[in-house]
Amino acid sequence: MTAVGEGDIYDSGAAVPRDQARLAVDEIEVKLRRVLHDVLHSHLGEDYWKSALPGDLQTKIKERVSERNRSKIVIRIEDPLIRLQYADIMDLYKILDKNWDLFKDRFGSREALKSHFLALKNYRNPLGHIRDLDVVEQKQGEAAIIWFRRALDAPVDSNSVPDAGQEETTA
C-alpha cells in the first residue's frame, strides 16, 4: 500500500493536509506490520507468535480479536499477519524491542526507534480522533513518517536504514 511516494509533500517541508497525513500514517502501520511479520517469519518460522510476542501482548491481542468477532462465527485467527492488525502502534514497538537483534540493523538504535514510535503515535492519535495537533508534535510526526519510510523500504534481507543523502543506484 502506497499512500504517497518519494518526493511527496513530506519531502518538500510544506504543510501536510490531514487527509494525506492520515494516509501516510496508515501506510507506515501497514508496512510496519508487514516487515515485522516477514522478518519474524523468516527467522523464527511460521509459528513465531508465541516466541516473538510478549505474553501480555498475546493475551491483549487475543481479547481484541474475540471482542471484535463476538457477533461472527470466527473467533480465532490463525494467521499472525492478520493478528498483527489488532495490535496498537505501541504494541508493534514492543514486538520490535523484544526481538531487537533481528531488527537493530534496520532501525539503528533502540532510542531512535522509540522516539520515532512515540512521535508517530502522538501524530496519529489526533488525526484519527479529529483533534487539534500541536505544531511541534505535528512536525515530529512528519519527521517520523520520513524516518519510517526509509527504514521500512529496505528489503527484509538487507536491514539497513539508508542515510538521508543516500541515493539508490542501479547497475
**Residue 6 belongs to some domain of the structure:** no
31-51 confidence digits (pLDDT tens): 999 999 999 999 999 999 999
**Residue 67 belongs to some domain of the structure:** no
- Euclidean distance between CA atoms 114 and 150, whole angstroms: 16
Q: CB atoms < 10 A from the CB of 154, how many? A: 16
- Euclidean distance between CA atoms 77 and 30, whole angstroms: 18
Domain count, the chain: 1
- Domain with 116 in it: 14-53+89-153
**Residue 100 belongs to some domain of the structure:** yes
108-149 confidence digits (pLDDT tens): 999 999 999 999 999 999 888 888 888 899 999 999 999 999
**Residue 158 belongs to some domain of the structure:** no
Query: What does the DSSP 8-state code read for residue 77?
Result: -
**Residue 18 belongs to some domain of the structure:** yes
**Residue 3 belongs to some domain of the structure:** no
Residue 170 has pLDDT above 80, yes or no: no
pTM of the model: 0.79
DSSP 87-146: S-HHHHHHHHHHTHHHHHHHH--HHHHHHHHHHHHHHHHHHHTT-PPPHHHHHHHHHHHH
State phi, psi for 3 to the nearest 5 degrees.
-80, -45
Query: What does the DSSP 8-state code read for residue 7?
Result: T
Query: What pLDDT sits at residue 101?
Result: 97
- Euclidean distance between CA atoms 2 and 16, whole angstroms: 16
Residue 9 has pLDDT above 70, yes or no: no
pLDDT band at 152 (very low <50, low <70, confident <90, very high): very high
**Residue 127 belongs to some domain of the structure:** yes
